Structure 1
Amino acid sequence: MNTARREFLKGSFALAGGALFAPDFNFFIHKGKPALADQVLGHNGFTYRVNKEWGNLDPAKTPINNCHEMVLDSKGRLIMVTDEPKNNIIIYDKSGKLLKTWGSDYPGGHGLSLAKEGSEDMLFISDPNIGRVDKTTVDGKVLMTLKTPHELGIYKKEAPYKPTETAVGPNGDIYVADGYGSQYIIQYDAKGNYIRHFGGQGDEDGQFQTAHGVCIDNRDKNNPTLLCTSRVHNSFKRFSLDGKYLSTIFLPGAFVCRPVINGENLYAGVCWSRLKYLNQTPNSGFVTILDKNNKVISNPGGTKPVYVNGELQLMVQKENLFMHCHDVCLDEDKNIYVCQWNAKKTYPIKLERVQV
C-alpha cells in the first residue's frame, strides 16, 4: 500500500469509535425505511423535510428514464432534462404541476444549463450518447450546435467525445465538460468558435477522472472562476476562466456530480458514496452543501460533516432515501429539488427547507 493511500485510510477512519462512526454503523445495513416525510434531514441549519410526492406524473403519459438535471428559469419554472426519448424536457411549476414537455432528439439527454441573453433564457443541452451540445430556446428551438472536437481537429480520430455538461461565462464563453469521453474542458466563444481545451484524463492536479460537471463560481464578483467536477477523485477542481489550474476541493467519500452555486453556498448531488470497504457503492447517494469558504456544512441524507485538524473526514450515505443523486436545483425559498439517475424511473424529490 503506498503512502498516500495509507494516509487516506488513516484519516478516513480516524474517528472510528468516535463521534462520526460509532452512533451510525447501522447505516451500512438498513433495517427498514423510516417515515421520511416526518423526518428532518441535514445539519447546521441547512435542514429539510422530504416531499416524495412533488412532481410525480403519470408515467403512461409523461414517462421518464433518468432524471438527469434541472434548472430554474426566470419565470420560476423548473425545467428538467431526461434521456426518455418521448419527452426529453419536462417543465414544472413550483407546485410540481406539469406545464409542458418537448423534445425527442436527445436519446442520452444529460446536461442542462441555463444562460441569459439580455432578457431571454437560453438552454444548453448535452447528450453524451450522440456527442452533441445544442443551444436552444426554452421552448426547444435549436439556435446553435457546437462543433465537436473531431470536427475542430483537436481530438485524434479514436479519442471519445461524450459531453456531459456546459457552463456559460460572464462574457458568453461556453465551457463543455467531456465527462464521459476524453476528460477535457473545451472552451468556445459565444458564437461557438473554439478557443482552447484543458485537463484530460489523469491524476495530476489539472487533470480529471470523470469531468462530469462544470459551473461558473461567481461568489467572488471580482474574480469569477470555473469549478469542474472530477467525480472519481471525489473533488471539485478550480480553474481560471482561461484554463489554469488553481486548487482542489476534496470531498472524501463523495462521488459528486455538477457543482451548483446558489447565493454564498455550493450544492451538489452525490451519485455514490464509499459506503462499503471504501468502494463506490450502488444506491448510496446524498446531497452535500458547502459554505462560502468551501467547507461542508450539511449532508442531507448523509453523515454529518466532521473536520479533524481542518481536514474533512469521510462522508457517506446515512439515510436510506436516495439512490443516485445526479443533480440539485434550488428555488427562491432555498428548497432543493433532487434529480436521480438509475433510481427506478422515479420523479424528482423535493427537500423543503425548514429551520430547526
Structure 2
Amino acid sequence: MTYTRRHFLKGSIALAGSALTTPDFNFYIKKGKPVLANEVLGHNGFTYRINKDWGKLDSSKTPVNNCHEMVLDSKGRLIMVTDEPKNNIIIYDKSGKLLKTWGTEYPGGHGLSIFNEGGEDMLFISDPNIGRVDKTTSEGKILMTLKTPHELGIYKKEDPYKPTETAISANGDIYVADGYGSQYIIQYDAKGNYKRHFGGKGDEDTQFSTAHGVCIDNRDKNNPTLLCTSRAHNSFKRFTLDGKYLSTIFLPGAFVCRAVINGENIYSGVCWSRLKYLNQTPNSGFVTILDKSNKVISNPGGTKPVYDKGELQLMVQKEPLFMHCHDVCIDEDKNIYVCQWNANKTYPIKLERV
C-alpha cells in the first residue's frame, strides 16, 4: 500500500478529534463517527475486542501516572509498574481486580522484567529518573541493586545513564538497556558483575537511536539471541548473547517499545506512528504482532501490514483508540493487556482475542 498525503491528512483529522476528549474507551473515532468499542481490531486471525472496563481502579486510592510495563507471574497475576510514587507496583488478577500494591521509591518506575529463579519469581525494576536497576522479589524485597556504569568505570562522568529496561538470560545474565541515557546495552552476570557493553548512540547497524528495550528471543531453543529496540530507527536489532550484531527487523512507521515473545510470535507496543508529513505524531500508538519469520501479521489499532516485493510498507495508526502504547503483556488465552504512556493517567486496556 502506498501512503499519500490524503492518508496522512485523514489520519491527522481523526487524531485531532480524539485528542479533544479524555479517553474512556466507550467509543473511539473512526472516519469522524463514534464507533462502539466492541468492534474487532487486528488482522490475519490475530483479532481482538476491547474490554473497556478491565483494570479500572479508584484513582483516589490507587492512582497511576504512566502505565509503563506489565508482566505475568507464575501465579497468573498481572504485575504492572507505574511512575506514580504512591504505588509503583500494582498487582491485578486476570479479571482486573486489584490484589495489592507496593513500592514508593521509584519516581520514574519504567522497566519491569520477570525471571524465575529456583522456582521463585524475581522482578527487575528500571528507573531512568534516578539511574537505578533493582532486583526484587515479587513482593518487593530488594535483593540487589546493579552498579551503574559510572561506578563500574565504563562511562565518563559526563555520560548520562538512564536505564529503561532489562532482560535476563537462562544462565541469569542481566542485560540493561540504557535507553534514555548513552544507549548502550550493559551485560552483567547473575551476581551483578560487569561483563561487557555494546551499542551506543548512532546510525550504524551496531548502534541505537533510543535503545528503549531489550528481550531474550528464545524461540530457537538452540540459538537464543537478544532483540534490542532502536525505537527512533523503527527497528528491533538482533545481537548474539555476547553482543555481536546479527540483523535488523525494520518496522517502518512504528516507534516500537520492547519486544515481547509469546509462543512463536513477537508482540510490541508502538508508542508513536508517523502520520502527516511522516512526522513522529503524538497520540498515534497501536500494537504490532510478528510471526515466527519476523513478518508483521497484525496491527491492532493500526493499518493492515502490507509487503511489496518482500518489503514491509509504512504502517500507521488507523483507529485513534490508543495514545502511546508503551508495553504489552499476553496471557495464556492470548489476550493482550496494553500499558500506555502519556495517556491521561488511564489504566491498562485489555484486548480480548476473538
Any idea what the Cα deviations from partners look like across 1:113-165, whole Å, max 9, x if unmatched?
A: 00010110000000000000000000000000000000000000000000000
Residues of 1 paired with 2:224 and 2:294: CA distance?
15
Residue 11 of structure 2 corresponds to 27
Instruction: Show the counterpart of 1:210.
Output: 210
Kindly provide the amino acid, as one letter, of the partner of residue 158 in structure 2: E
Map residues 196-207 of structure 1 onto 2, 5 A cutoff.
196-207=196-207
- Whether 2:223 is the aligned partner of 1:236: answer no
1:285-296 aligned at under 5 Å gives the runs: 285-296=285-296
- In structure 1, C-alpha distance between the alignment counterparts of 2:45 and 2:284, rounded to whole Å: 23
**Hey, what's the Cα distance between the residues in 1 that align with 2:36 and 2:242?**
45
Aligned to 1:334: 334
CA distance in 2, matches of 1:289, 1:258: 12
Amino acid at match of 1:163: P
Runs of 5+ consecutive residues of structure 1 not aligned to the other structure: 1-13
The answer to whether the 8 Å contact 1:24/1:318 transfers is no
SS of 1:28 mapped into structure 2: helix
What is the Cα-based RMSD across aligned positions, in Å? 1.3
Residues 70 and 36 (structure 1 numbering): CA distance in 2 closer, same or farther, change over 3 Å? Answer: farther
Cα displacement string for residues 309-343 of structure 1 (whole angstroms, at most 9, x for unaligned residues): 00000000000100000000000000000000000
Structure 1's 279 and 23: CA in aligned 2 closer, same or farther, altered over 3 A? closer
Aligned to 1:52: 52
Amino acid at match of 1:144: M
Q: Which amino acid aligns with 2:13?
A: I
Distance 1:112 1:23 in 2: 36
Task: Answer yes or no: is the 8 Å Cα contact 1:135–1:142 preserved in 2.
Answer: yes
Aligned equivalents of 2:6, 2:70: Cα separation in 1: 36
The percentage of aligned residue pairs carrying the same residue is 84
Report the CA distance between 1:174 and its aligned residue: 0.2
Note if contact 1:36-1:50 (Cα within 8 Å) is conserved in structure 2: no
Instruction: Look up the SS of the partner of 2:275 in the other structure.
Output: strand
**Letter matched to residue 330 of structure 1:** I
CA deviation after TM superposition for structure 1 residue 26, in Å: 3.1
The AA in structure 1 aligned to 2:87 is N
How far apart, in 2, do the equivalents of 1:100 and 1:339 lie?
Answer: 18
1:310 aligns with 2:310: yes
Alignment of 1:239-278 (within 5 A): 239-278=239-278
Q: Evaluate the alpha carbon distance shift between residue 85 and residue 16 of structure 1 in structure 2; reply closer, same or farther with a 3 A threshold.
A: closer
Trace 1:104-119 onto structure 2 (pairs within 5 A): 104-119=104-119
Which residue does the alignment assign to 1:9?
Answer: none
Matches within 5 A, 1:48-197: 48-197=48-197
Q: 1:167 to 1:220 in 2, by over 3 A?
A: same
TM-score scaled to structure 2, two decimals? 0.93
Deviation at 1:65, TM superposition (A): 0.3
The residue identity in structure 2 corresponding to 1:205 is D
* Contact 1:135/1:145 (8 A) holds in 2: yes
Q: How far is the alpha carbon of 1:275 from its aligned partner?
A: 1.1
Number of aligned residues: 338
Which residue identity does 1:177 align to in structure 2?
Answer: A
Distance 1:209 1:22 in 2: 29
The match for 1:15 is: 2
Query: Contact conserved, 2:160 with 2:182, CA < 8 A, in 1?
Result: yes
Q: Deviations over 1:168-207 (max 9, x none)?
A: 0111100000000000000000000000000000000000
Which residue in the other structure is 1:6 paired with?
Answer: none
Is contact 2:66–2:340 with CA below 8 Å preserved after alignment?
yes
Alignment of 1:216-227 (within 5 A): 216-227=216-227
| Alpha-carbon distance in 2 for matches of 1:58, 1:271 | 26
Q: Structure 2, unaligned stretches of length 5 or more?
A: 18-27
